[in-house]
């Protein structure tokens, strides 16, 4: 694999997290063990590095930062991010990279039986949930190439810049990332699952949360989802809370929109009990395979019958609960920035 920079999920596994990023490596691992994962391919971390170097974007980034000066305030974070991202996004993909990526997308379309709508997702070698960017319902070769470059440029978004400064690291040394191109599931509903209690860590219970449409609102915490708690050993549902699901994120055109949920569906469970149990079964298999409690994302297709309608979109270890240090000046700036971005 030394000279290769693009891979089908079937070609990679969890041992390749430094090569393609953790998200891509875990998608490959799930594919290899027979989990229901959408089809797709990944670009390596090296592909990102090569793009920045061959287009001279890396040198322009360093020149921009040397002229920009200190980055300390929220306004400076935003101005630096805008300038850096413009540099990266102004570059054209090297011809051989472009042709190779287009050939993989063509094959993916053949596998899917149509022009594939895909998600273009970031994959860091270190887990930073929500730090880099993802684009959903991307269609066509030009769209895929464009969104790949935008994902690469997201190593200079305001969240990442704030994180680097908080850690005392140079902005220009923001790490390279992998990219996953994943077949979109026409999701009736979607959400997350934890193979332990995500708050207390209780390993005897599992939690599944979901809502109508795509899972982005559940993942971000912007929507009030349905919540199911199961006994991990028996997979009996021991508690359920049906959320007032006012909004849903759905595909539209070449992207997504947030729209109102019809009044008669707002308090209707988005999952059947058998679907809840099936998602829990898959989650238990992941925990057994990876050896630690898992935080996974799932989607239920509107186009397929049960149980073939359930897909796994990613998995990672459940993050530990750690005591928070009192915020310093940089932490307060980052917190304020994150508040602002959550309203966009």
**Could you tell me the domains of the chain?**
6-183 (3.30.1490.20), 187-317 (3.30.470.20)
Average pLDDT estimate for 282-295: 97
User: Is there a contact between 68 and 84 (Cβ–Cβ < 8 Å)?
Assistant: no
pLDDT on residue 101: 97
Rounded CA separation 198/202 (Å): 8
pLDDT on residue 329: 46
pTM for the whole thing?
A: 0.89
pLDDT on residue 320: 67
What DSSP assignment string belongs to 70-121? Answer: ---SHHHHHHHHHHHHHHHHTSPPPHHHHHHHHHHHHHHHHHHTSS-EEEEE
154-200 pLDDT, tens per residue? Answer: 999 999 999 899 889 999 999 999 999 999 999 999 999 999 998 88
The conformation of residue 10, written as its DSSP 8-state character, comes to: G
In this structure, what token pair is assigned to residue 78?
A: 């935003």
Cis peptide upstream of residue 307 (ω within 30 degrees of 0): yes
pLDDT on residue 328: 44
134-144 pLDDT, tens per residue? Answer: 999 999 999 99
265-279 pLDDT, tens per residue? Answer: 999 999 999 999 999
């Amino acid at each position: 694999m030394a000279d290769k920079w693009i891979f089908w999920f079937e070609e990679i596994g969890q041992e390749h997290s430094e090569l393609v990023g953790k998200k891509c490596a875990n998608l490959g691992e799930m594919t290899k063990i027979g989990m229901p994962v959408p089809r797709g391919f990944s670009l390596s971390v090296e592909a990102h590095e090569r793009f920045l170097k061959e287009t001279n974007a890396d040198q322009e980034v360093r020149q921009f930062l040397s002229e920009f000066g200190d980055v300390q305030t929220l306004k400076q974070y935003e101005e630096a991010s805008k300038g850096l991202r413009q540099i990266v996004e102004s570059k054209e993909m090297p011809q051989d990279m472009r042709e190779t990526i287009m050939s993989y997308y063509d094959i993916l379309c053949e596998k899917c039986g149509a022009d594939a709508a895909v998600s273009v997702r970031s994959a860091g070698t270190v887990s930073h949930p929500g730090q880099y960017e993802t684009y959903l319902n991307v269609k066509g070769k030009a769209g895929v190439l464009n969104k790949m470059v935008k994902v690469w440029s997201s190593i200079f978004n305001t969240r990442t810049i704030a994180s680097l400064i908080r850690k005392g690291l140079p902005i220009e040394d923001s790490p390279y990332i992998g990219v996953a191109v994943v077949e979109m599931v026409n999701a009736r509903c979607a959400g997350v699952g934890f193979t332990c209690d995500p708050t207390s860590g209780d390993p005897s219970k599992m939690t599944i949360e979901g809502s109508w449409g795509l899972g982005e609102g559940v993942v971000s915490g912007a929507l009030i989802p349905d919540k199911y708690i199961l006994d991990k050993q028996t997979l009996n549902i021991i508690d359920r809370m049906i959320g007032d699901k006012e909004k849903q994120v759905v595909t539209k055109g070449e992207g997504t929109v947030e729209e109102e949920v019809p009044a008669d569906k707002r308090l209707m469970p988005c999952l059947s009990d058998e679907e809840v149990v099936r998602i829990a079964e898959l989650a238990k298999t992941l925990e057994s395979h990876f050896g630690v409690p898992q935080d996974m994302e799932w989607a239920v297709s509107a186009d397929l019958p049960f149980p073939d309608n359930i897909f796994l979109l990613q998995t990672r270890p459940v993050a530990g609960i750690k005591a928070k240090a009192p915020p310093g000046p940089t932490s307060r700036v980052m917190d304020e920035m994150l508040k602002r971005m959550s309203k966009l």
